Chains A and B, each alone.
Chain A
């Protein structure tokens, strides 16, 4: 098969994986080398697909042949999609060619499971090894690890990759048993625990700074990371009956247990050649969006899963964002005095983000904040004002009014013929 055809098949096979981030790597660059590549902490999105998702990495599968029969997966053994397999060199060459043209930040390599978990993991790791060792490639590498691969192979993969991930796939053990009978929920967790110990271990013994070559010159940045700096996972949303509370509780436990950098939520997407037992449906994109917002609240705003998805039924409100929904359920906690409240309370005000809260705290030292200060901070005033007291503003009875929720909800929208029309 021609390279272009393989690329089409193996990119198609990778497009259902939500993760794309290329940030969080140890800073390094190619100065003083004959190679290319750098990472500067923050990743860069080099393009966007019409599905709104960023393209920052060459995200492909090494092969989409797979021994497993996970019902939600387009690459399951019983699916009739066309199959292909890249050679190690083909992936290496594509990565370098795309990187040199500044199309990408690096590589995100995953694979169907062929022969055995260990064999597959070895092949995936070999691509990263050749890129790092033979081409001195210093860009970002994310490897999808195979859950049952041996600890030695995980450790090896971590030496070449900036990030490793293992997909949890479904939020509950029962869900996994039903839809992916060959996957072992505790095997997935065991691998995550192993990775956490390896990542923590590498961080603890972070190597002493290299001796300076000459006075005034910074130490030469290393080509490859000593060990991956982070791990992430993906949960498929809407393929099984788990509610949002269950999903967020699972994520909360994952962050705490394995120090994950990110949990990606992937709305179950209709796939070509779907399995009989899985009903075809439109992807629950809005639900996915709300889960990301809720996840953000857990990571940066001090919310617990049970607070966010606290409404009866355990589902997030689709009309309003989770913070506003929480505030509407907890009006007794408001109004918050912007000029006096501590950080934790300010962070709970709908419409105030982490940056706005920092600015409020800094500005309070020299001025009493007023309504037009909010406008200068570019926060959505209509959303914030009912919940706060300012030098020239009190929400009065607005907070108790039963109409508040209705006012803050988006107006009902007429379905339009042109909703999905091209721009």
Chain B
């Protein structure tokens, strides 16, 4: 087996690795036969072994990739991150994984393969390092002849400067900045990113007048009654502290926390110096609508958004009563705005009625629902809810004074007539209430929406006929 020396231009030369790996793969060079190096890093990355002393001085150049091997897209992303790790064996590991992905098709599904697990661990550490760089880079402002320049010092663990720089470019486009690390630096002047060598900390670090304000903020956003240093350190490990100006406050703040809390707890309540202006007394004789808004007579009033009161002209001669508000009605605070309401609008138009001349309301004023995960499913009101809300409905009937009431569905009929009425039996008929008001019984639009498609059209025609009766009696009077 002959040795192949693969040399990359620099430690973060992902493109170079890709080209080389592709060439090696095309020539079917097995991973054991490749020694990976980075230019300028003497010997780094070569496998140490008994037989590695004599290596061929010159090799044929690796040809550019010929047949493209299909590898999963997820591998490319994995490699782009794992290759930035400071671990010297990363190039060899990733090439071995690539080789195996081509040889063993089942590997792409096996997320527990040791090589894959190892590569993912590298990628994860690189991503964490990149994330911490986005979080913990701290710019200080320097005045220059061409306006302010923002300069930061950061110490990443891995070769991530090139990979993270575009993030800072997208974020701080309107600003001139540089980020300097021990091994590499990057500069943005508003037009292009320029990479260069690293530098020393003392060449970069400087104070910024704004730092004092930042420290003030840090000190005061901390709640001493909730000291949790472990939680803090798991997200902001100590190795980052020496570059974070606020970190020098951690020890004193923590030390004072218990004492501050104890002092706070031991102090008696003080006498207020300021008093709020007296609230206006609640006005008696509120309308039924206002009174109902605060009603908690049944349990779901707590979870519904609001009471949905009726709407329409106060002098309407016909009042349509539905069952209860649904999801959309609950959010909007208006009756019949959801899918059932839209069907009702259509039927009213087909029956020759103008919605604006009618008063529309519901027997029950709160949306009653059952939670199914993140959805609210309509739940029909029971005896208890109809009972609890009947006083509100009756007050509304009295306030509007409509002589003719239309019960849409069984619940509304039961509420208006104080007895159970089979809609299928009484549909299309006018019944009389003890107070002399006439009640027309018909379907609720939601019932039509629940019918199988073939039954919908005939039912809709019957329903429009029922509603058309309203138009006829209104004209007769």
* Set B225, B251, B331: member contacting A196, Cβ < 8 A: B331
Bound form: Cα–Cα A50–B221 in Å: 10
Give the residues from 296 to 354 in chain B that come closer than 8 angstroms, CB to CB, to chain A.
Answer: 296, 302-307, 330-333
Q: Which residues of A contact B307 (CB under 8 A)?
A: 186
Residue of B with least CB distance to A9: B220
Nearest to B274 among chain A residues (CB) is: A77
Interface string of B132-145 (1 = CB under 8 A from A): 00111111110000
B225 near A422: Cβ-Cβ < 8 Å:
no
Question: Are B373's CB and A302's CB within 8 A?
Answer: yes
A100 close to B330 (CB less than 8 A): no
Q: Indicate if the CB atoms of B139 and A12 lie closer than 8 Å.
A: no
Asked if A48 and B213 sit within 8 Å, CB to CB, the answer is: no
* CB of A312 closer than 8 Å to a CB of B: no
Q: How many residues of A are counted as interface, with CB atoms below 8 angstroms from the partner's CB atoms?
A: 102
B112 near A101: Cβ-Cβ < 8 Å: no
Residues A50 and B331 in contact in the complex (CB < 8 Å), given A193-B306, A270-B264: no
A4 CA to B216 CA, complexed, in Å = 7
Q: Is the CB of A52 within 8 A of B221?
A: no
Q: Is there a chain A Cβ closer than 8 Å to B103's Cβ?
A: no
Q: Are A15 and B221 in contact (CB under 8 A)?
A: yes
Q: Does B383 sit at the interface, judged by CB under 8 A?
A: no
| Cross-interface CB contact of B254 among A172, A256, A422, cutoff 8 Å | A422
Does B236 lie at the interface of the complex (its beta carbon under 8 Å from any beta carbon of A)? yes
Whether the pair A11, B220 counts as a contact (CB closer than 8 A) is: yes
Q: Check if A359 is an interface residue, CB within 8 A of chain B.
A: yes
**Cβ 8 A contact of A48, one of B137, B139, B235, B261:** B235
Find out whether the CB atom of A51 lies under 8 angstroms from the CB atom of B228: yes
Say yes or no: B229 contacts A193, CB within 8 Å: no
Chain B residues in 8 Å Cβ range of A94: 213
A48 touches B111 (CB 8 A): no
Nearest-CB residue, chain A, relative to B276: A77
Which residues of chain A are near B374, meaning CB under 8 Å?
255-256, 259
Q: Say which residue of A38, A50, A305, A423 sits within 8 Å of B170 (CB atoms).
A: A38
A182:B371 contact, CB within 8 angstroms: no
Residue of B whose beta carbon sits closest to that of A182: B279
In contact, B226 and A253 (Cβ under 8 angstroms): no
- Least CB distance from B131 to A in Å reads 7
Task: Report if A376-B137 is in contact (Cβ < 8 Å); known contacts: A34-B174, A77-B276.
Answer: no
* Pairwise interchain contact B152-A102, C-beta atoms closer than 8 A: yes
A193 touches B226 (CB 8 A): no
Interface bits A253-286 vs B (CB < 8 Å: 1, else 0): 1011111000000010111111110001111010
Chain B hits for A193, CB < 8 A: 305-306, 330-333
> A138: nearest residue on chain B (CB-CB)?
B171
Which residue of chain A is the closest to B273 with respect to CB atoms? A80
Interface-central residue, B134, B150, B229, B369, by most chain A CB under 10 Å? B229
Contact A274 B269 (CB under 8 A): yes
Q: Are A36 and B174 in contact (CB under 8 A)?
A: yes
On chain A, the residues within 8 Å of B107 by CB distance are 366
* Cα–Cα distance between A14 and B218 once the two chains are bound (Å): 12
With beta carbons under 8 angstroms apart, the residue of B174, B229, B258, B273 that contacts A52 is B229
Asked if residues A45 and B135 are in contact (CB atoms below 8 Å), the reply is yes
State how many angstroms separate the Cβ of A220 from the closest Cβ of chain B: 12
Contact of A186 among B222, B269, B305 (CB under 8 A): B305
Query: B194 → chain A, closest Cβ, in Å?
Result: 17
B375 within 8 A of A: yes
Nearest to B215 among chain A residues (CB) is A4
- Contact of A341 with B by CB under 8 A: no
- Rounded to whole angstroms, the CA-CA distance of A45 and B293 in the bound complex is 42
Residues of chain A with a CB closer than 8 A to B283's CB: none
What 1/0 mask marks residues of chain B from 214 to 247 whose CB sits below 8 Å from any chain A CB?
A: 1011111111111111111101101000001010
The reply to whether A257 and B109 form a contact with Cβ atoms under 8 Å apart is no
> Which residues of A are found within 8 Å of B134, using beta-carbon distances?
44
A192 within 8 A of B: yes
Q: Is the CB of A29 within 8 A of B170?
A: yes
Q: How near does chain B come to A239, taking the closest CB pair, in angstroms?
A: 13
Q: Any chain A CB within 8 A of the CB of B360? A: no
A256 close to B275 (CB less than 8 A):
no
**Residues of B at under 8 Å CB distance from A?**
106-107, 109-112, 114, 117, 131, 134-141, 150, 152, 167, 169-175, 208, 210, 212-214, 216-233, 235-236, 238, 244, 246, 250-251, 253-255, 257-258, 261, 264-265, 267, 269-270, 272-277, 279, 293-294, 296, 302-307, 330-333, 369, 371, 373-376
5 A-B pairs in the complex with CB atoms less than 8 angstroms apart: A4-B212, A47-B244, A69-B276, A256-B374, A257-B331
3 shortest interchain CB distances as A-B pairs: A52-B231, A52-B228, A78-B272
